[in-house]
A and B are shown apart, each in its own frame.
Chain A
């Protein structure tokens, strides 16, 4: 198994899967991603990320029903696994933890540095 780190792109995709539930398949995720982040991503890039997530064991997938607009081809619906949820949790905890460690004057100092420059 490859490393279980979550990249930023992967993390958002994983979150989107959790949000979208039964409707989480490649194209839909890509569109939702563009909607939410305002960034564009190739469908291929989303697929690639989904594939990596599946290899890491964070998501699992089933083939769902076929629709006419897909030319009779079936969707692959992704759903989050427990370890996926854990990975998200770890990532969130890490951030929270780091946020908590920022001293009160941390952002003030940043402002000062910016001004000084």
Chain B
């Protein structure tokens, strides 16, 4: 044998042509090429290809089927399938339409799930990247945070050879840059990063170098660069923020949507003052580790525990006068977990996540809902096929008499079901491409080309279609093919009665699934309504928020005064901390006279002004508000009820609080309580309201304005002109507090909408099936109806007779589905610390809805049959 490489045409021929011909064809081709070479002819390759391709002719092609007999059987089965599809247009429509809806739903859910699961997998080495997350218990306070201490990255990299690279990111979101030409540009997501971050995350460089090793350097994303000076033009230009000038060293490609961070700009870590401190007690940095290949992160995580005393021991001794051993004995602990990068989006739900993550629970909920809808559609096919068995019984009997084997008949019915599934899948494909924009709007994603794009659903769609075809067809195929030919041909087989129990079971399954989905939608809807209508402890309506007011510097007070002078403004307050914002500050305090750290309480400490409580309508239950005219109010604090409960003061007003040794809060060590406010919701409904104190210091991040609802548009115009007087270069941006509040429950809103759609689809498909089934059985009982009518049965009597059978099935479905639904949904409600209960109405509404729809569906059919002139039904015999 010549050891020449097999050419592509040769491989093509080997693959496509019958092996019997391959030898001579390939031989001739090889000789042809040899002669072309000998003659040194022009266009050798082209000629060779031309001749090769022309070999692929019908006679030489491999037959797709092994034996020609099977092939012709298959052809015939296909033909019969198409004919029966055409003959029974009504039932085919119900089957295919239902299946198409089911498959469309499943495809969308598949897209959603695949996209959610793909988060952060696009990074090179993503399987070796981990983030450190803190689980700390400190004097009775539990912290679960996506952040870690500043010195951890270097210390751990030295301690553990398993770590190949480590880096930190410290994010400060939402900063305003000043360009050379004084133009201001907002950057939504910014972080200081160590240079090593680029060794862990392989950003794509578009211009310059991604180099943050020098202080006062930044790198920006492509879209940010376009907003600044342009992608290539931005290099070596300067920008200013927080009174520092930075040089743009590089531009990277925008971070893909499916990542857990989307930094628009990264700055040198050297510019972050706290980056070099050795404080193990404060967690402010996101630390990422790249592990060496083959390292088991769980083993490494266990090893972390050995170094905690070394680092946290000195810290405890300094601040708390306790030793590591005493610390552990008191039930406290330190635990830093390694989160695999790819799992962060779906499985991490900690405090201080960079962006809101997805939820694995929702993935499962969606997946289950999609599967339910698909199963309901498959059952339609099963039920209608078996119910109509009588019309096919003669055909089966005849075929068997003529020597058809059972396996052939099974094949035939399977092919029919596959054909249905394929037609449905084609319709579903079209629907998916048409409805994609709506889907994107609904889920807030930006997916495109689901079949052949990044999602590559194509193989899934093909596989899914085949599975659906088999699933829907297998029971009817075995059922129909098992008829005894003799009895069928004698007419002994009762029409479709034999499979009655199975059909009833399937109807029960369908309606149980529908009831569960509707019940789910109702519960989610009520919880959303509960969140929206629950008294929050502050009033979120008619509050306008202006962001980035800190850029005005000292002028904020004057600006606030001007705002307050507007006729439609009721009150205004400046504060960096708002219940609907993301800015938070957390520190521990103790009662002044306490001697042990056990009495320490971890608190939210928010700097506000004296207008905060009246502007937000927060209820003061004891003491008084801050007073600007009292100099003694400089260290005054107001507690919320939760904080009071923790401290346990009987007479809170006048009591004093202090910080831990060596710690300062807002530059102070001691505080005096002057009042107590009602709890108000500043965090998710998923957790209890944390203890907090308000402190009377200047924090100028935002201005919140309570206005009179009548004159909103005027107000905004006035505010804008006022803003430009004070702050000409900064873009004027405003939001409404109630909208911000709604946005916090975005994922629940989406869940609610999707569940409503799913449950609507489910009940629709189920009713479609019921419609078909009822049409068929009524058709079978036409004569019975006619005789009953002749003998004097009234219309209501006939209708009740028809409906009672289905009602029994529905009641069984209700009994089966309710416990499951209640169990599942109370599990979901348990996510919320503040939640609505499942009440009588929430149970009754879905049941009545399903009952009503089912009755309505069956009634259409039975009414038509019952009002018909009995003579018509009886005259043929």
Given A27-B31, A47-B25, A63-B23, A71 and B54 touching (CB < 8 A)?
A: no
Which residue of B1, B24, B57 contacts A75 across the interface (Cβ within 8 Å)?
B24
The 13 sampled A-B contact pairs (Cβ below 8 Å) are A25-B24, A43-B51, A44-B51, A44-B60, A51-B59, A51-B60, A66-B27, A69-B31, A71-B1, A71-B26, A74-B27, A75-B24, A76-B24
In the complex, which residues of chain A have a beta carbon less than 8 angstroms from the beta carbon of B51?
42-44
Q: By the criterion CB–CB under 8 Å, are B59 and A69 in contact? A: no
- B24 touching A72 by the CB < 8 A rule? no
Q: Nearest Cβ distance between residue B501 and chain A, in whole angstroms?
A: 56
Complex Cα spacing A108 to B28, Å: 48
Decide yes or no: A71 and B2 within 8 Å by CB, A43-B28, A47-B55 being known contacts. Answer: yes
How many chain B residues have a CB neighbour from A under 8 Å? 24
In the complex, what distance in Å separates the CA atom of A59 from the CA atom of B316?
A: 99
A42-B31 contact in complex given A47-B60, A71-B26, C-beta closer than 8 Å: no
Whether B27 lies near A43 (C-beta < 8 A) is no
- Of the residues B26, B31, B57, contact of A44 by C-beta under 8 Å: B57
- The answer on a CB contact under 8 Å between B60 and A69 is no
CB neighbours (8 Å) of A71 from chain B are 1-2, 4, 26-27, 30
Could you list which residues of chain A lie within 8 angstroms of chain B, going by C-beta atoms?
25-27, 42-45, 47-48, 51-52, 63, 66-76
Given contacts A43-B29, A47-B60, contact A69 B24 (CB under 8 A): no
Given the complex, which residues of B lie within 8 Å of A43, measured CB to CB?
Answer: 28-29, 32, 51, 54-55
Given the known A-B contacts A43-B32, A47-B21, A51-B60, are A73 and B55 also in contact in the complex, defined by CB atoms under 8 Å? no
Q: Which of A42, A52, A72 contacts B59 (CB 8 A)?
A: A52
Measured between beta carbons, the chain A residues less than 8 angstroms from B4 are 71
Nearest CB in chain B to that of A70: its residue: B27
Closest B-chain residue to A45, C-beta based?
Answer: B54
Report the 3 A-B pairs with minimum CB-CB distance, sorted nearest first: A73-B27, A44-B54, A71-B30
Proximity bits, B1-42, A CB within 8 Å = 1, else 0: 110100000000000000001011111111110110000000
Q: Shortest distance in angstroms between A65's beta carbon and chain B's nearest beta carbon?
A: 11
Q: Tell me, yes or no, whether B73 is within 8 Å of chain A by CB.
A: no
Question: With A47-B21, A63-B23, A72-B1 given, is the CB distance from A27 to B59 under 8 Å?
Answer: no
Question: Is the Cβ of B60 less than 8 Å from the Cβ of A70?
Answer: no
Chain B residues whose CB sits within 8 angstroms of the CB of A67 once the complex forms: 31
Contacts of A42 in B (CB 8 A): 50-51, 54-55
B59 A48 Cβ-Cβ under 8 A: yes
Cβ of B54: which chain A residues have Cβ within 8 Å of it? 42-45
CB distance from B35 to the nearest CB of A (A): 8
Judged by a CB distance under 8 angstroms, whether B812 is at the interface is no
Residues of A within 8 A of B60 (CB): 44, 47-48, 51
Residues on B lying within 8 angstroms of A by beta carbon are 1-2, 4, 21, 23-32, 34-35, 50-51, 54-57, 59-60
A43-B55, A48-B57 known; 15 new pairs, CB 8 Å cut-off, are: A26-B24, A42-B54, A42-B55, A43-B51, A51-B60, A52-B59, A68-B2, A69-B30, A69-B34, A69-B35, A71-B2, A73-B27, A73-B30, A74-B27, A76-B23
CA distance A52 to B59 in the complex (A): 9
How many angstroms from the CA of A67 to the CA of B51 in the assembled complex? 20
User: Please, which residues of chain B bring their CB within 8 A of the CB of A45?
Assistant: 54
**In the bound complex, do residue A73 and residue B24 qualify as a contact, i.e. CB atoms below 8 Å apart?**
yes
Nearest A residue to B6 by beta-carbon distance?
A: A71
Residues of chain A lying within 8 A (CB to CB) of residue B23: 63, 73-74, 76
Contact of A27 among B32, B50, B57 (CB under 8 A): B32
- The CA of A73 and the CA of B4, in the complex, are separated in Å by 13
Chain B residues with CB below 8 A from A75, complex form: 24, 27
B residues less than 8 Å from A48 (CB atoms)? 57, 59-60
CA distance A43 to B30 in the complex (A): 12
- Please give, as numbers and ranges, the residues of chain B lying within 8 Å of A63 by CB-CB distance: 23-24
CA distance A27 to B24 in the complex (A): 10
Cβ of A72: which chain B residues have Cβ within 8 Å of it?
A: 1-2
Find the A residue at minimum CB distance from B50. Answer: A42
Q: Which residues of A sit under 8 angstroms from B27, Cβ to Cβ?
A: 66, 70-71, 73-75
Q: Which A residues are CB-close (under 8 A) to B21?
A: 47, 51
Given the complex, which residues of B lie within 8 Å of A74, measured CB to CB? Answer: 23-24, 27
Docked complex Cα distance between A4 and B648 (Å): 109
Q: How far is the CA of A74 from the CA of B2 in the complex (A)?
A: 13
The answer for the CA separation of A108 and B29 in the assembled complex, in Å, is: 49
A23 CB, min distance to chain B CBs, angstroms? 13
Chain A residues with CB below 8 A from B34, complex form? 69-70
Residue ID in chain B nearest A75 by CB atoms: B27
Min Cβ gap B710→A in Å is: 85
A25 to B26 alpha-carbon distance, docked (Å): 13
Question: What's the minimum C-beta distance from A51 to chain B, rounded to whole angstroms?
Answer: 5
- Chain A nearest CB, measured from B9 CB (Å): 11
Q: Tell me the nearest residue of chain A to B26, going by C-beta.
A: A73
Residue of B nearest to A71 (CB): B30
Q: Which residues of A contact B29 (CB under 8 A)?
A: 43
Contacts of B25 in A (CB 8 A): 26, 47
Q: In chain B, what residue has the closest Cβ to A30? A: B28
CA distance A47 to B59 in the complex (A): 10
Closest B residue by C-beta to A61? B24
Q: How far is the CB of A26 from chain B (nearest CB, A)?
A: 4
If A44-B51, A45-B54 touch, whether A27 touches B26 (CB-CB below 8 Å) is no
User: Within the complex, which residue of A25, A52, A66, A68 is in contact with B28, where a contact is CB–CB below 8 Å?
Assistant: A25
Which residue, A69, A72, A75, has most C-beta atoms of chain B within 10 A? A69
With a CB–CB cut-off of 8 A, which chain A residues contact B2? 68, 71-72
Q: How far is the CA of A66 from the CA of B26 in the complex (A)?
A: 12
A76–B57 Cα gap in the complex (Å)? 18
Q: How far is the CA of A51 from the CA of B24 in the complex (A)?
A: 12
User: Whose C-beta in chain B lies nearest to the C-beta of A69?
Assistant: B34
CB distance from A62 to the nearest CB of B (A): 11
- Closest A-chain residue to B4, C-beta based? A71
Report the separation of the CA atoms of residues A69 and B27 in the bound assembly, to the nearest whole angstrom: 8
Tell me the complex Cα distance, A47–B4, Å: 24
Residues of chain A within 8 A of B30, CB atoms compared:
69-71, 73
Question: CA separation between A42 and B50, bound complex, in Å?
Answer: 8
- Distance of A25 Cα from B1 Cα, bound (Å): 20
Bound together, the chains give a CA A31 to CA B30 distance in angstroms of 15
Q: How far is the CA of A74 from the CA of B25 in the complex (A)?
A: 10
Which residues on the A side are within 8 Å of B1 (C-beta)? 71-72
Interchain CA distance A27-B35 in the complex, whole Å: 11
Complex Cα distance A36/B50, Å? 22
List the B side residues contacting A70 at CB < 8 Å: 27-28, 30-31, 34
Measured CA separation A43–B25 after assembly (Å): 9
Contacts of B55 in A (CB 8 A): 42-44, 47
Cα distance A51–B23 in the bound complex, in angstroms: 14
Question: Do A26 and B28 have beta carbons less than 8 Å apart?
Answer: yes
Please, how many angstroms separate the alpha-carbon atoms of A113 and B54 in the complex? 42
A52 to B31, CA, bound (A): 23
Distance between A95 CB and nearest chain B CB, rounded to angstroms: 28
Output the least CB separation between A55 and chain B (Å): 9
Q: Which residues of A contact B56 (CB under 8 A)?
A: 44
Instruction: Give the docked Cα–Cα distance between A60 and B57 (Å).
Output: 21
State in angstroms the CA–CA spacing of A74 and B31 once bound together. Answer: 11
Q: How far is the CA of A42 from the CA of B2 in the complex (A)?
A: 25
Contacts of B26 in A (CB 8 A): 71, 73
Complex Cα distance, B21 from A53, in Å, reads 15
Name the residue among B24, B29, B50 with the largest chain A CB count within 10 angstroms. Answer: B24
Distance in angstroms from A47 CB to nearest chain B CB is 7
Query: Complex Cα distance A27/B27, Å?
Result: 9
| Bound CA–CA A75/B23 (angstroms) | 8
State A54–B610 Cα separation when bound (angstroms): 104
B202 to nearest A CB, angstroms? Answer: 45
Say how far B329's CB is from chain A's closest CB, in angstroms.
82
Bound Cα distance A68, B32 (Å): 12
User: Separation in Å of the B375 CB from the closest CB of chain A?
Assistant: 51
Chain B residue with Cβ nearest A46: B28
Closest to B2 in A: A71
In whole Å, how far is B59's beta carbon from the nearest beta carbon of chain A?
A: 5
Contacts of A25 in B (CB 8 A): 24, 28
User: For B50, what are the chain A residues with a Cβ–Cβ distance below 8 Å?
Assistant: 42
